[in-house]
Amino acid sequence: MASNRKLVSFPGVLTGQGQLATCMVSAVEVTLGGTSESAYIDHSISSVSKMLPEGDYELVANGVKSRIRLKNGSWLSAA
């Protein structure tokens, strides 16, 4: 079954380490052909509203919660 892919961006909220910050999330939206179901892959975070300490965070974006980690200045999946 074929799939459609497109790059999308949406706002997100990062919480953890006693912090709260907004951000922008870019991802690839994958939709299976012939369905309306989609999933987001290859997330990247940008435009974080303030400097955050390294550690574990929860990202809430587009109605989905994800565990994420800031390490050496890069955002990594903590799943």
Give the list of residues 6+ apart from residue 43 with CB closer than 8 angstroms, or none: 25, 26, 27, 59, 61, 66, 77
Instruction: Write down the pLDDT at residue 42.
Output: 87
Instruction: Write down the pLDDT at residue 65.
Output: 92
Instruction: Write down the pLDDT at residue 35.
Output: 83
Model-level pTM? 0.84
Q: Which residues of the chain carry a pLDDT beneath 70?
A: 1, 79
Q: Containing domain of residue 66, as a range?
A: 3-77
Per the structure, how many domains does the chain have?
A: 1
Nearest-angstrom CA–CA distance, 26 and 5: 13
Nearest-angstrom CA–CA distance, 46 and 15: 15
